[in-house]
Amino acid sequence: MRKSNIIEHSGIVESIENNIVKINILSASACSSCHLKGACGAAETANKIIEVFNSGKNFSVGEQVNVIAEESLGFKALFYAYLLPFILVVSTLIITSFFSSSEAIIGFLSLIILIPYYAVLSFYKARFKKIFTFRLQKI
């Protein structure tokens, strides 16, 4: 895999339980060279905890590591988190405007459509954890 097809963030191992390593992502120092930094949720806050399945490598609490993800996963995450809800809201807005003249009802229904959307996302959380996987690399 080419270097340009991956996203890397430095972090520190916070805890290790049952082959799940919790990584505290460091502040945005590693984000300055990434061309996705404007759209990446990890670049917005200083502290972000990420859970990574450990496949047999030995890590210790407090150790500095790189969290690696494929760039295509970043685009998938952007689609599910931002683009698809936007499309749902706008399409609901347009469709309900044909059936109602009340702007309050149109706006309310356009926002209410997000409740089942995020409920479905929450229901499939385990499946998304399998899709959006990270790798760890010792520094």
Q: What is the mean pLDDT of each run of 10 residues along the chain (139 residues)?
A: 73 89 74 63 68 83 90 89 96 95 94 96 91 87
pLDDT given at position 41: 61
Residue found by looking up tokens 């059936």 in the block:
99
Task: Collect all residues with Cβ–Cβ distance below 8 Å to 135 and sequence separation of at least 6.
Answer: 52, 67, 68, 69
Return the half-sphere exposure (C-beta side, CA atoms, 13 A cut-off) of residue 44: 4
Q: How many domains does the chain have?
A: 1
The pair phi, psi for residue 125, each rounded to 5°, is -60, -40
- The burial of 28, by beta-carbon neighbours within 10 Å (0-12 exposed, 13-18 middle, 19 or more buried), is given as middle
pLDDT given at position 1: 46
Domain that holds residue 31: 3-138
pLDDT given at position 42: 56
pLDDT given at position 3: 59
pLDDT given at position 9: 86
